[in-house]
Amino acid sequence: MDIWELFKLVGRRWYFGVPMLVLTIVATGWALTTIKPDYSSEGTIILVPPADKTPLSNSELTSTNTWVELGEDVMAQAVTISVQTHDTRDQIGKDGFVNTYTVTSTDRSNLITIDATGPTPGLAQDTVQRVQKQIAMEVEQKQAVFHPKAGRSITTQVLDNGDTVNTVSSKVKRAAVIIIGVGLLLTVAVTIVGDLLLKRRARAIAGRARTAGAAGGPQPDDPAANEDSQSASAAKSDTNSGGTLLNGTGSSGPKTAAGAGVQVAFKAAEAEAARRQVPEDATIVLPLGGSPWAGREKDAEANKR
């Protein structure tokens, strides 16, 4: 079944498809009004190199801050990984914030971007600020083991605290698309199943009608059956008239009774031949047992003896 035939089937069985389409529209409208969109907030933090650029003294060389030698870009890559670990996400989630945030940093750059999505604008912005605090704490803890002096360590500075919040409607659109797709599939499925059930019911009704017709006797449009019934009726009528004549109530006497008996026997033989489908040119032998000549034949045989 191609697409065009499927469209024709849905149009022909519209009483199955229309209710499903109406239900799909209602469900889609419910989803658009009930499902709330999400809100996204994005913040940026930068890693600042040490402010003190003077050469290190001999005593400071023994406890050099290795992160300063590696550079702020390497520190940004390291912090990006550490703030997205499972334990850190769990801790931020327990603090009441969204733990599905995203932290990214570009190669050879000391900028870190935080993106958080929440059910409310305030929660999304608060999550960004919480992650920024976590980044600042991670940067300080990683350098603390080297005991750097003031101005000799990498610091952080917030460039964007996530105060710009955008509405994200992808969840609503995704739900609407799923409902529409499922509704169309159910419409086609219900229409096909309903069409099959109606065809099966029609075949069952036709079969019962044929069975009832066969059990009730010959059909009205059967010529042979009609002819048999007409011949039998005529024979019965002639038999009744012949019996009346033989009883002496007729006006023609014995001759009329004899002719009626032959006529009755002949029509009965014709009816039997028609029932058995005997060819028209076949010879029909009339029995004389029920005719007036049956007794005369026996008397003639007795005189010969």
8 A C-beta contact, residue 72 and residue 49: yes
Please name the residues in contact with 139: beta carbons below 8 A apart, sequence gap of 6 or more: 47, 75, 79, 154, 155, 156
8 A C-beta contact, residue 39 and residue 165: yes
3 DSSP 8-state letter: H
- Say if strands 165-168 and 38-48 run parallel, antiparallel, or are unpaired: antiparallel
The alpha carbons of the chain give a radius of gyration, in whole angstroms, of: 54
pLDDT of residue 247: 40
Q: Which two tokens stand for residue 157?
A: 């500075």
User: What single string gives the DSSP state of each residue in 203-223?
Assistant: HHHHHHHHHHHHHT-S-TT-H
8 A C-beta contact, residue 162 and residue 41: yes
From the CB of residue 59, how many other CB atoms can be counted at a distance below 10 Å?
A: 7
Q: Which two tokens stand for residue 226?
A: 């009609």
**What are the residue ranges spanned by the domains of the chain?**
38-50+63-168, 223-290
11 DSSP 8-state letter: H
pLDDT of residue 5: 83
148 DSSP 8-state letter: P
Q: Buried b vs exposed e over 188-227: b needs ≥16 C-beta within 10 Å?
A: bebbbeeeeeeeeeeeeeeeeeeeeeeeeeeeeeeeeeee
Sign of CA dihedral 249, 253, 257, 259: negative
Task: Measure the CA dihedral 122/125/127/128, to 10°.
Answer: 180
8 A C-beta contact, residue 165 and residue 125: yes
Crossing angle, helix 253-276 and helix 223-246, to 10 degrees?
160
CATH fold label, 38-50+63-168: Alpha-Beta Plaits (3.30.70)
Q: 286 — alpha (psi -120 to 50), left (phi > 0) or beta?
A: beta
Q: For every one of its 305 residues, what pLDDT tens digit does the chain have, with 9 covering 90 and above? A: 677 888 888 888 888 888 999 999 999 999 888 888 899 999 999 999 988 777 766 666 666 788 888 889 999 999 999 999 999 999 999 999 999 999 999 888 899 999 999 999 999 999 999 999 999 999 999 999 888 888 889 999 999 999 989 998 888 889 999 999 999 999 999 999 988 999 888 888 888 888 887 776 444 444 434 444 454 454 445 444 444 433 444 444 444 444 555 566 666 666 766 666 555 555 555 555 545 555 555 555 555 55
SS3 41: strand
